[in-house]
């Protein structure tokens, strides 16, 4: 059973000038972690190092340090990704391993989590389907932070920021959230 979040706690925190800190995660080696705190945004690439064999792998201790350094996180929203057509078995295994590891880090920090499909959060924020749709929409909704996703390869940063924004809007709307709610 998923964790259910009580909007009364959110509203009580805002009344005390203690806004919720939301973590948005776009999983994968080219993904990112975004921390949303009442309009303030911090974005970090998923930390990667050169793998012992070939390619890159997640630096799990650095990923844990990023989450630790963020302080108290009230809720996490993680994109619930699935296999893509024509993607190789090895790359899907690697992607699944990274997704599972990021989920485990959130669980190890006792952060309530909601898994959200790309269709759900992109639809709610009117993200265009074009290849650069997330970066363009993030620049429209969060213009002060558009410098964070100027390069094409920074689309994970834009998506993580939008997922965090989606989560903040969802919580402020009073809608119940949890692992299977979104």
Range of the domain at 160: 7-172
pLDDT in the model for residue 94 = 73
For residue 1, is it within any domain?
no
pLDDT in the model for residue 179 = 61
Q: What is the CATH number of the domain that holds 127?
A: 3.30.420.10
**Residue matched to tokens 């919720």:** 20
Bridge-based pairing state of the strands 32-37 and 21-26? antiparallel
pLDDT in the model for residue 173 = 82
Which regions of the chain are under pLDDT 70?
A: 1-18, 82-85, 87, 91, 176, 178-182
**Number of domains within the chain:** 1
For residue 112, is it within any domain?
yes
For residue 178, is it within any domain?
no
For residue 180, is it within any domain?
no
For residue 152, is it within any domain?
yes
For residue 156, is it within any domain?
yes
pLDDT in the model for residue 11 = 46
For residue 67, is it within any domain?
yes
113 within 8 A of 3, measured Cβ to Cβ:
yes
For residue 179, is it within any domain?
no
């Amino acid at each position: 059973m998923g964790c259910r979040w009580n909007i009364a706690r959110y509203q009580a925190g805002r009344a005390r000038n203690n806004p919720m800190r939301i973590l948005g995660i776009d999983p994968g080696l080219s993904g990112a972690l975004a921390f949303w705190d009442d309009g303030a945004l911090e974005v970090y690439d998923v930390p990667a190092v050169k793998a012992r064999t070939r390619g890159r792998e997640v630096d799990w201790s650095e990923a844990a340090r990023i989450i630790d350094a963020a302080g108290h996180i009230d809720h996490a929203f993680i994109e619930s990704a699935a296999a893509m057509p024509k993607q190789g078995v090895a790359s899907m295994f690697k992607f699944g391993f990274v997704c599972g590891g990021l989920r485990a880090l959130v669980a190890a920090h006792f952060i309530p989590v909601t898994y959200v499909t790309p269709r759900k959060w992109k639809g709610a924020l009117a993200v265009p389907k074009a290849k650069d749709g997330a970066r363009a929409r993030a620049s429209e909704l969060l213009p002060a932070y558009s410098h964070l996703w100027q390069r094409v390869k920074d689309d994970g940063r834009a998506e993580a920021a939008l997922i965090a924004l989606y989560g903040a809007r969802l919580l402020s709307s009073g809608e119940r959230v949890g692992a299977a709610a979104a």
